Chains A and B, each alone.
Chain A
């Protein structure tokens, strides 16, 4: 039911391991496996909020505290550092994949204890920024060369009607087109409207995407103006991710390639032709 993350062993440089320490290592790695699976489970729980009714705040806070606890322990262990490094390095190189859950980091320059919020990394990603709103999912996007914005407000994330049939390639394509840091609207709290806790870096933020970003690339706007943006809603993407063969954030980490190849988006046989086209355009814009 839950994705199993890649086991992170604290490598101590290939020295000879005796039987006893092997056993110890096994116990330790089994503990870290369990801890990892607990972390994954918790993050998924945080994401899977009830759409129509407000999520239970107490439950969310308790899960978020558990995640924080695990995160702190992993930080002390050093295993967290490896994870964050990996993701930060992804910032330098183009990555096509959506990172499924809300782990991960700000850029390396920021504080030592990485805060948790979700990341959508995509080509040309340099810095991640949190987009926050209320309830449900949170998304982080970078400011990059691309200023494409997507229309539509993320209302409830997990529209059940959109759960089925979203191709992973779409979401991957999606990544490359999320854009523009400047425009992100962070919903300010005003008394009645924000219910959910913005814990651990807006875990519960709703992604708000606006149309029409200012910026030089109005041509881009025109290019994409006729695209049906409902496909590129965050929730379809994420739910598509979920319905796809399960991968934890760390599996994705493994598959992040340092160099992108030129049809950089995963192409699958049933890729839509217009998506391919846009994909190609993206390539050009971002500059392979």
Chain B
């Protein structure tokens, strides 16, 4: 499929002038809100940047709703845990939007330990004409006041403010890797390596533990939770994935502690492919329900799999993301790339899957036509408003002209985080510290 670049290659360090990538600017999460009007990114420095889509105007039809910076705020600060003498990173691990209920926008953002609910609201009017204060805000001498007036609201430049409304802390011993808002819009869950907690959005001093896989003896620990998500429609159902490649679907109605799963999705390992790295590459880095709630998508190191909720024995579909890396697993283990956690996303109609790879490549799989494409997110290779050219990695033998060989791939340029607009074919791709937004070509 063809994608046109909107050229909104937004450098996330827009607040500063320099071009080099500072570590703090590395984007760590990307998420559209439920209408697609807003796009939030979180970075390693604890900042959240929210982009808003321009209203389409008839005067400039070619500028079909580009995304501009709407708000920036520091969500999390680095902390120090004195008990353990360890730093708590301020890196934003996940952002999830709440559905919009009034003029303000709400999102949840989390670092390793603390989840925060932020309210983003606009202010475009300012009261003027106070009786007791003058225009600069200084208190007036009461004796000088001779008349009374009613303050009026006057328009002012739009100001977008972000305020933390709830802080959910001290509930996680291990590092939070996921948050997921329930379809009841009252609760959400936060997941760390060994436990999942359920929160009420209004209550910050109490959470309920619903999954606990911590063994009594930590020496026996062999499996951790890697991701979790609520079902999009059924507020009692959620799934969580593990480092051993299994996905468990749980029903909160069965018991308070959902250690026993309702369903276990696991594909038996192919014995011909077995190696010392088999377990590592089977570890699931992301799990996502389809929008209709009938399918699950999981991402492990080399593949993306689609599961039918009703069939636990094996996935419905398996897509190879970068199978050419299978012979390089030892080197990837050595340089730690094998532990990279790639995310995966559905498009709005659940017909296309997208996930990232190395060398700033990302891949899309069309479930219906079974076609797939590799695209690249980089400044050098894409001109404004040009159609993205499909890329190809050549595995061996003769390398054709536009192909890139496996050994020339840049493993430091990895696309871990991507997002797809809920309704339209607009995608956001985070490549280290750059955010790329691509739109479908419209004639």
B91-105: which have CB < 8 Å to A? none
Given A38-B330, A57-B175, A192-B173: A65 and B339 interface contact (C-beta under 8 Å)? no
The proximity string for A residues 55-67 relative to B, scoring 1 for CB distances below 8 Å and 0 otherwise, is 0111101101110
A58 and B226 within 8 A (CB): yes
Chain B residues contacting A15 (CB-CB under 8 Å) are none
**Could you give 25 example pairs across A and B, Cβ below 8 Å?**
A45-B336, A52-B86, A52-B87, A58-B193, A58-B226, A58-B339, A61-B221, A61-B224, A61-B243, A62-B280, A62-B339, A65-B222, A66-B277, A66-B280, A69-B276, A70-B276, A134-B84, A192-B83, A192-B173, A193-B83, A197-B218, A198-B221, A199-B221, A200-B219, A201-B219
B231-282: which have CB < 8 Å to A? 243, 276-277, 279-280
- Asked whether any CB of chain B lies closer than 8 Å to the CB of A212, the reply is no
A135 and B224 within 8 A (CB): no
Given A57-B175, A192-B173, A194-B218: A62 and B87 interface contact (C-beta under 8 Å)? no
Chain A residues contacting B277 (CB-CB under 8 Å) are 66
Chain B residues contacting A70 (CB-CB under 8 Å) are 276
B173 and A57 within 8 A (CB): no
A: number of interface residues (CB 8 Å) = 37
A61-B224, A195-B174 are known; give 8 further A-B pairs, CB within 8 A: A38-B276, A54-B84, A56-B175, A61-B243, A69-B279, A189-B218, A197-B218, A198-B217
- Asked whether any CB of chain A lies closer than 8 Å to the CB of B85, the reply is yes
B243 and A58 within 8 A (CB): yes
Instruction: Write the residues of chain A forming the contact surface with B, with a CB cutoff of 8 angstroms.
Output: 1, 34-35, 38, 41, 45, 52-54, 56-59, 61-62, 64-66, 69-70, 134-135, 155-156, 189, 191-202
B279 and A62 within 8 A (CB): yes
Measured in the bound complex, the distance between the Cα atoms of B217 and A199 in whole Å is 9
Given A57-B224, A202-B219: A156 and B193 interface contact (C-beta under 8 Å)? no
Measured in the bound complex, the distance between the Cα atoms of B222 and A70 in whole Å is 15
A198 and B218 within 8 A (CB): yes
Q: Whole-angstrom distance from the CB of A45 to the nearest CB of chain B?
A: 8
Q: Whole-angstrom distance from the CB of A107 to the nearest CB of chain B?
A: 18
B221 and A56 within 8 A (CB): no
Q: Whole-angstrom distance from the CB of A55 to the nearest CB of chain B?
A: 9
B209-233: which have CB < 8 Å to A? 217-224, 226
Q: Whole-angstrom distance from the CB of B242 to the nearest CB of chain A?
A: 10
Measured in the bound complex, the distance between the Cα atoms of B336 and A1 in whole Å is 14
Q: Whole-angstrom distance from the CB of B314 to the nearest CB of chain A?
A: 23
Residue in A53, A192, A194, A200 whose CB lies within 8 Å of B87: A53
- Asked whether any CB of chain A lies closer than 8 Å to the CB of B37, the reply is no
Chain A residues contacting B194 (CB-CB under 8 Å) are 57
Q: Whole-angstrom distance from the CB of B104 to the nearest CB of chain A?
A: 34
Least CB separation from B173: chain A residue: A192
B84 and A195 within 8 A (CB): yes
Measured in the bound complex, the distance between the Cα atoms of B88 and A47 in whole Å is 20
Chain A residues contacting B193 (CB-CB under 8 Å) are 57-58
Contact-size category for B: 20 to 34
Chain B residues contacting A197 (CB-CB under 8 Å) are 218-219, 221
Residue in B89, B219, B220, B224 whose CB lies within 8 Å of A58: B224
- Asked whether any CB of chain A lies closer than 8 Å to the CB of B333, the reply is yes
Measured in the bound complex, the distance between the Cα atoms of B333 and A155 in whole Å is 28
Most buried by B among A1, A57, A135, A189: A57
- Asked whether any CB of chain A lies closer than 8 Å to the CB of B433, the reply is no
Most buried by B among A61, A189, A194: A61
Measured in the bound complex, the distance between the Cα atoms of B17 and A35 in whole Å is 49
A41 and B334 within 8 A (CB): yes
B48-96: which have CB < 8 Å to A? 83-89
Most buried by B among A1, A53, A201: A53
Q: Whole-angstrom distance from the CB of A248 to the nearest CB of chain B?
A: 15
B218 and A199 within 8 A (CB): yes
B219 and A62 within 8 A (CB): no
6 A-B pairs with the lowest CB-CB distances in the bound complex, closest first: A197-B221, A198-B218, A57-B193, A198-B219, A52-B87, A197-B218
Chain B residues contacting A64 (CB-CB under 8 Å) are 222
Residue in A1, A35, A54, A65 whose CB lies within 8 Å of B279: A65
Q: Whole-angstrom distance from the CB of B324 to the nearest CB of chain A?
A: 20
Q: Whole-angstrom distance from the CB of B193 to the nearest CB of chain A?
A: 4
Chain B residues contacting A202 (CB-CB under 8 Å) are 219
Least CB separation from A192: chain B residue: B173
Q: Whole-angstrom distance from the CB of B343 to the nearest CB of chain A?
A: 15
- Asked whether any CB of chain A lies closer than 8 Å to the CB of B182, the reply is no
Q: Whole-angstrom distance from the CB of A34 to the nearest CB of chain B?
A: 8
The proximity string for B residues 374-417 relative to A, scoring 1 for CB distances below 8 Å and 0 otherwise, is 00000000000000000000000000000000000000000000
Q: Whole-angstrom distance from the CB of A195 to the nearest CB of chain B?
A: 6
A53 and B217 within 8 A (CB): no
Measured in the bound complex, the distance between the Cα atoms of B274 and A69 in whole Å is 12
Q: Whole-angstrom distance from the CB of A114 to the nearest CB of chain B?
A: 14
Chain A residues contacting B283 (CB-CB under 8 Å) are 58, 62
Given A66-B280, A192-B83, A192-B173: A53 and B89 interface contact (C-beta under 8 Å)? yes
Measured in the bound complex, the distance between the Cα atoms of B219 and A202 in whole Å is 7
Measured in the bound complex, the distance between the Cα atoms of B81 and A195 in whole Å is 12
Least CB separation from A69: chain B residue: B276
Chain A residues contacting B279 (CB-CB under 8 Å) are 62, 65-66, 69
Chain B residues contacting A41 (CB-CB under 8 Å) are 333-334
Chain B residues contacting A195 (CB-CB under 8 Å) are 84, 173-174
Measured in the bound complex, the distance between the Cα atoms of B89 and A200 in whole Å is 27
Least CB separation from A194: chain B residue: B218
Measured in the bound complex, the distance between the Cα atoms of B83 and A117 in whole Å is 25
Least CB separation from B81: chain A residue: A54
Measured in the bound complex, the distance between the Cα atoms of B223 and A66 in whole Å is 12
Measured in the bound complex, the distance between the Cα atoms of B90 and A52 in whole Å is 13
Chain B residues contacting A65 (CB-CB under 8 Å) are 222, 279
Measured in the bound complex, the distance between the Cα atoms of B220 and A200 in whole Å is 8
